[in-house]
Structure 1
Amino acid sequence: MPNSMALDIKSFETIIPSRFLSFTIPNPALPTHLLRVAVLDNPIQLNESPQVAALFVPQNREPDWIFSTESGHLQLLLSSPGISRLILIGSNPISGSDSSPLTYHKRDNAQYVKSLENSVKPLFFALSPKVSVQDGIFDVPILDYEDNLICSVVLERCVGVFVCEMLVEDIEIESDSELREFRRRLRFKRMPNLVQTEIRIVPQKVFELDRVKIGGEVKFRPDTKVLVHSYLIPMVASLSLIGSCIEDRFRKGLKPKALCLGVGGGALLSFLRAELGFEVFGVEMDEEVLRVARQYFGLEDCEIHVSVGDAIEYVEKLAGRDRVLVSGEDNGDFYLNHANGFGAKFDVIMVDLDSCDARNGVIAPPLEFVKKHILSAARSVLSDFGIFVMNVIPPTRLFYDTLIHEFQEIFHELYEIDVGNGENFVLIAKVSPVTSPLGECENSFLQKLRIAILGRYLDSIRKI
């Protein structure tokens, strides 16, 4: 990291796509402390006159990946349309502070920003392209970083073979109700601001509300009865399309079977088992992710069958299309054999897989999954009334239209749920046109489903 004296200020007179520099300067509000300044130029050269914006890093959140890594800076820049250069300013993190409890309050942060804003304006001028200030009228807009975080503490940082660096953190978020809301998150550094898994946590013992705080003496446990990730609830709501067939399974004394491709923290798998009574199988590429899921997110091996391996290879092998071995923890073929050993196929396959990088964002499913032979293999391991459910984050409309076309070539019917967050869609493909002979009042499974998800998204399922 260069210091301020070594920088040539003339080097900032032009935009150089993808250039990233960071340096430290004395903090004008606290002379014994340093400020970290980071400058990132947009990787895409914009046609109009270059626009500069600044963002003050929220106080005590400097170690967060979104503020401390180049890929995090890129996410912030690309989420601000029309900005050619982004300048970030924040306290220089103290060595070793990554693992210490982090407390942040918006009311305190506003005062912190105000104390710095005027004193660093000359720096904004110096770090702006020449063409932006040549007319003598110059102003750098200050961007706001808004989220619902009140405080957080990192429980563990670890590295997976496939997902690379990740962290587990407990947080408290703002709530619309009088009840306080505590969550546990699993995040991957490859997308610094992306939450891979989020679950609700509750104190292990009863405490007075004002004594409960993240990082204090209170210990928390996972609450797997509630789904808080926005797209998981519509994925579960898709089961209403085959509610009569699932009810028939239960009436015959059988458990419906679900295969989840992509486990993460295991919130979906735990919910299907504990709240809806499914027999659940999961496939996860990274064994370290599974360890984290078991240790922090309530994933129970005795109730859920999980295999370590590639999801596509797993499906192909189940379909008898390939002899590729899928490695498991103790016996590579145990869960595969177990999954096929009941004389019954899966009633639902749920896919929650993605690929991502800071420049292109998150894409779900991975491009490798958008192939006819993969979808055909998945269809072949579904029961006669089965459904194939996929979380989709399309990078383009063409990607989404292509995926829909591939589904319609393989499956009998296709449905969609718009999650409503401007990002996720859930596609639901049916093997056959099953209709329900039972009304909801006669179908105990549908009643249980409605209660479990509070009726959300059941009326949002649209046939394509």
Structure 2
Amino acid sequence: MAVSPELERLQHVEPSRFVAFSFPNPLLHDASSPYGDGAGFLRVAVLDSPLRPPPAPAPRTAAMLVPAGRHRDWIFSTRAGHLHLLLSSQPQCHLSRLVLVGPELTAPSPRGVVSCAAARPDPDPAHARLLPLLLALCPRAAFGGNAIPDVPLLSFHDDLLRIAPVKVATGPVVGEMVVEDVAVDCTPHPVELRRRLRFKRTPFLVQTQVRLVRRSSPGDSCLLEALDEVAGGSLQPEVGGELVQPYLQAMASGLAVIAPSMDESFRLGDKPRCLCAGIGGGALLMSIRMGLQCDVLGIEADDVVLDVARSHFGLVEDEFLQVRVGDAIQTIQDFARKGEHDMNFRAIMVDLDSCDPICGVSAPPLEMTQESVLLAARTILHRNGALILNVIPPAADGTFYKGLIDVLRRVFSELYEISVGNGENFILVATASPVETILSDGSGSFLTELRTLSGGFLEHITRI
């Protein structure tokens, strides 16, 4: 049998091993198949966890059917996406191995696909048809005591109703990226159309997400159909308004800690200067420039990302919003070394991710957590300024978050935390000087404008 060499290799769990192969479709002509009758062969991808499993009688294996129409999505077609699926299921399942089953990647994918984000058990009748294959893919140790292991079939659900790819580009730093328009289920609120940017190296991480609005508004009944229009001609990004992504809302909320300092700048007739390390599609920059009237400098490592931000997300540079191509961490160190007077930032906002090929997505990069880099950041801050960090602790390193907090405490005066509530992102706010109070009466002040951008996160800032 053609697959036997692969099966031989898979008899034992080997951390981070990834194997993909074609297999005759046992769901062909079966009513339980989500892929119709056209797929004679399936793509079977097997990934072993990079994490050391907890003590258990036997390694656990689970499987997932790729949602119909999503097989070419990087979430399901790349090792990086597969790894995120496996790691996101760990708190419930403690998996040693995750098997993805779906159409071969050469199968066509429609322009607009309806999606079926958590993994959860699904009593799909296809499970019985796939069970012989799934048992054959279990490691030998799973059959201890002549027991037949349970191989649950997990399902993937998200809030997307439709996806329409807009542009695929490749940058010299981030690699392949995709701009796509999506219809999002916002129950109990109406469906929203959004444009988002994703990188292939981190397919689960939405780099930027903004609302789409019609150039003319014929009515909500045509919202879904608008995504299928050629080039999305009737849609345009909403620029400078309320932030859509919760973690960006939380990052903006971090400015509340230094609201008196921001107000002081306005009273002096100045616009508060903010340095944004990492731009993506530019939603955060445009919101704090237009919504908060700040003077913004953005640093982005990849010039193609900047081109995409300008052409598809409404990023517009002007006297008070400037962008540079370069390494943001090196730029912070260069500013500190030169001691330039105009580098007196009220806020430094760091939204940089680090994709470890073994452990998945994390943020910020390890380099940003070094004491010398944090000292450089404090050097270029206003005396009443703050460093605001988007943090995604690595799944394989339980000490990362505590270590980052410890080094921030050594360098800065006070430390605050905002939990995004998604189980992944945390926002840390480190101040250069003590803060007497936050969230005082903000009537007519900077806080009033900040509340319109940042949802309800201002109420969830805690000192640590």
Q: TM-score, normalised by structure 1?
A: 0.85
Partners in 1 of 2:51 and 2:264 — Cα distance?
A: 56
Q: Which residue of 1 aligns with 2:58?
A: 49
Q: Do the aligned residues in 2 keep the contact of 1:9 with 1:126 (CA within 8 Å)?
A: no
Residue by residue over 1:288-312, the C-alpha shift from the partner in whole angstroms, topping out at 9 and shown as x without a partner, is 1111111111111225200001112
Shift of 1:130: 4.5
1:357 aligns with 2:366: no
Q: Which residue of 2 aligns with 1:348?
A: 347
Q: Which residue of 2 aligns with 1:58?
A: 67
Q: Which residue of 1 aligns with 2:12?
A: 15
Which residue of 31, 43, 47 maps to 1:36? 43
Shift of 1:405: 2.5
Q: Do the aligned residues in 2 keep the contact of 1:67 with 1:73 (CA within 8 Å)?
A: yes
Residue by residue over 1:143-172, the C-alpha shift from the partner in whole angstroms, topping out at 9 and shown as x without a partner, is 121211111011111111111111111111
Q: Do the aligned residues in 1 keep the contact of 2:273 with 2:294 (CA within 8 Å)?
A: yes
Q: Which moved more, 1:174-183 or 1:13-22?
A: 13-22
How many corresponding residue pairs? 436
Q: How does 1:177-196 map to 2 (within 5 A)?
A: 177-196=188-207
1:146 aligns with 2:157: yes
Partners in 1 of 2:409 and 2:139 — Cα distance?
A: 51
- What is the one-letter code of the residue matched to 2:416? Y
Q: How does 1:4-403 map to 2 (within 5 A)?
A: 5=2, 7-8=4-5, 11=8, 14-17=11-14, 18-26=17-25, 27-29=27-29, 32-34=38-40, 35-43=42-50, 46=53, 48-81=57-90, 82-94=94-106, 97=108, 100-106=110-116, 114=124, 116-133=126-143, 135=146, 137-213=148-224, 215-217=227-229, 219-224=234-239, 225-302=241-318, 303-320=320-337, 343=342, 345-395=344-394, 396-403=397-404
Residue by residue over 1:318-361, the C-alpha shift from the partner in whole angstroms, topping out at 9 and shown as x without a partner, is 12259xxxxxxxxxxxxxxxxx57x5721111111120135312
Q: Which residue of 2 aligns with 1:412?
A: 413
Q: Do the aligned residues in 1 keep the contact of 2:414 with 2:435 (CA within 8 Å)?
A: no
Q: Do the aligned residues in 1 keep the contact of 2:210 with 2:244 (CA within 8 Å)?
A: yes
Using a 3 Å threshold, how does the CA distance of structure 1 residues 358 and 113 change in structure 2: closer, same or farther? farther
Partners in 1 of 2:365 and 2:6 — Cα distance?
A: 43
Partners in 2 of 1:64 and 1:32 — Cα distance?
A: 19
Q: Which residue of 2 aligns with 1:459?
A: 459
Q: Do the aligned residues in 2 keep the contact of 1:372 with 1:410 (CA within 8 Å)?
A: yes
Using a 3 Å threshold, how does the CA distance of structure 1 residues 9 and 257 change in structure 2: closer, same or farther? closer
Q: Do the aligned residues in 2 keep the contact of 1:12 with 1:128 (CA within 8 Å)?
A: no
Residue by residue over 1:108-152, the C-alpha shift from the partner in whole angstroms, topping out at 9 and shown as x without a partner, is xxxx99564333333233333445457364542111212111110
Name segments (4+ residues, structure 1) moved above 6 Å.
Answer: none
Q: Do the aligned residues in 2 keep the contact of 1:54 with 1:143 (CA within 8 Å)?
A: yes
Using a 3 Å threshold, how does the CA distance of structure 1 residues 93 and 115 change in structure 2: closer, same or farther? farther
Partners in 2 of 1:222 and 1:463 — Cα distance?
A: 36
Please list every run of 5 or more consecutive structure 1 residues that lacks an aligned counterpart in the other structure.
Answer: 107-111, 323-339
Residue by residue over 1:276-299, the C-alpha shift from the partner in whole angstroms, topping out at 9 and shown as x without a partner, is 100110001111111111111111
Shift of 1:13: 6.7
Q: Do the aligned residues in 2 keep the contact of 1:12 with 1:129 (CA within 8 Å)?
A: no
Shift of 1:6: 5.3
Q: TM-score, normalised by structure 2?
A: 0.85
Using a 3 Å threshold, how does the CA distance of structure 1 residues 139 and 451 change in structure 2: closer, same or farther? closer
RMSD: 2.8
- What is the one-letter code of the residue matched to 1:393? I
Using a 3 Å threshold, how does the CA distance of structure 1 residues 136 and 298 change in structure 2: closer, same or farther? same
Please list every run of 5 or more consecutive structure 2 residues that lacks an aligned counterpart in the other structure.
Answer: 30-35, 117-121
Shift of 1:10: 5.6
- What is the one-letter code of the residue matched to 2:151? V
- What is the one-letter code of the residue matched to 1:403? L
Partners in 2 of 1:351 and 1:195 — Cα distance?
A: 16
Partners in 1 of 2:402 and 2:50 — Cα distance?
A: 28
Q: Secondary structure at the match of 1:193?
A: strand
- What is the one-letter code of the residue matched to 2:236? R
- What is the one-letter code of the residue matched to 1:308? V
Q: Which moved more, 1:210-219 or 1:173-182?
A: 210-219
